[in-house]
Amino acid sequence: MNHNKYEVVLDHACQLGEGPVWDADQQRILWVDILPGEIHSFYPASGEHRIFKTGQMTGAIALLPSGNFIAALQHGFHEISLENETVVPIADPEVHLPENRFNDGKCDPAGRFWAGTMAVDERPGAGALYMLDNDQSVSIKVENVTCSNGLAWSLDHQLLYYIDSPTRQVVAYEYDVTTGTIANKRVVIQFQEEDGFPDGMTIDEKGMLWIALWDGWKVIRCNPNTGERLQQIDLPAARITSCTFGGDSLEDLYITSAKTGLSQQELAEQPLAGCLFIVKNTGIKGIPTHGLPKP
């Protein structure tokens, strides 16, 4: 089933838009533009759009109870206050790998922040997936990663779903919510070359995965139990990067995209590349954003 009622949220194109997060408390959508190191916030009710520059490439953010963020920047984990305009380092597990940067990240059901890395030049196997625990210790979860991307946890908190984009796979690990340990990797969804590359993803209240397809022009909804494709949202940009549910009832799907790496001809053919899109009233609810716990 196709669903094509997308709208453009605002007249701004990111180089590499990614990592959308719905902030229910402030009724705003947040996302990052990785390459210039920007955190974007947009308030649908007022139409206000704010941009904060972090000073380095910015892969992902997660909400803190204080209203601040944990961010995965090029050089490690930081706490960021948009109000105070501060960027405070927490830990850099790859201080010895200055040619790497952090990419996608997300909080797990226990409030730990997971984020993965990749080489800036995208060389194979240079990255890893890390977990920042609630005591701010960092552990490595998956090694030999090329482009660490989408993360989601099953509704019963028994599985971690994960994407290393060049594999064209979504894999599942058995996941222990108490300790954060993962084990027994298996492939649950396999994409083909014509699909593009799986990128960011989110999960809905029925446990189905919504997966953005880089160079695939779409978001697809898949059943991770069977691999079945349930529906797709076709979009006017090739490089679709991630998605998340937002709005009052968590039935609006926000979708990020990118224009980096496109030729002049491709940019002319895709004037909306890099924009933030929304599909309103999907009829399916997301789940509330996992955030870090109150101390």
Which H or E element spans position 266?
Answer: helix 264-269
CA geometry: angle at 230 spanning 225 and 232, to 5°?
Answer: 130
- Give a yes or no: residue 285 inside a domain: no
- Give a yes or no: residue 288 inside a domain: no
In this predicted model, what pLDDT tens digit does every residue of 163-222 receive, in sequence order? 999 999 999 999 999 999 999 999 999 999 999 999 999 999 999 999 999 999 999 999
The residue range of the domain holding 36 is 6-279
- Give a yes or no: residue 65 inside a domain: yes
- Give a yes or no: residue 294 inside a domain: no
**Annotated binding residues for a divalent metal cation:** 18, 149, 199
**Annotated binding residues:** 18, 101, 103, 121, 149, 199
State the chain's mean pLDDT as an integer: 95
pLDDT at 295: 42
- Give a yes or no: residue 27 inside a domain: yes
- Give a yes or no: residue 267 inside a domain: yes
pLDDT at 248: 93
d(CA 83, CA 274): 26
In this predicted model, what pLDDT tens digit does every residue of 129-161 receive, in sequence order? 999 999 999 999 999 999 999 999 999 999 999
Active site residue 25: no
pLDDT at 289: 78
- Give a yes or no: residue 221 inside a domain: yes
Q: Into how many domains does the chain fold?
A: 1
CATH number at residue 252: 2.120.10.30
d(CA 144, CA 135): 26
Position with higher pLDDT, 90 vs 295: 90
List the one residue out of 160, 159, 136 whose CA is nearest residue 148.
160
Give the mean model confidence (pLDDT) for residues 268-272.
97
In this predicted model, what pLDDT tens digit does every residue of 86-111 receive, in sequence order? 999 999 999 999 999 999 999 999 99
What's the pTM? 0.96
- Give a yes or no: residue 111 inside a domain: yes
The SS3 assignment for 177 reads coil
In this predicted model, what pLDDT tens digit does every residue of 206-238 receive, in sequence order? 999 999 999 999 999 999 999 999 999 999 999
The SS3 assignment for 208 reads coil
Give the mean model confidence (pLDDT) for residues 56-78.
95
Cα separations in angstroms, 267 against 9, 13, 256, 286? 19, 11, 16, 32
Give the mean model confidence (pLDDT) for residues 37-45.
97
Residue 294 has pLDDT above 50, yes or no: no
**Annotated binding residues for substrate:** 101, 103, 121
Cα separations in angstroms, 23 against 11, 173, 189, 248? 21, 28, 29, 11
d(CA 6, CA 234): 8
Which of 33, 199, 204, 252 is an active site residue? 199
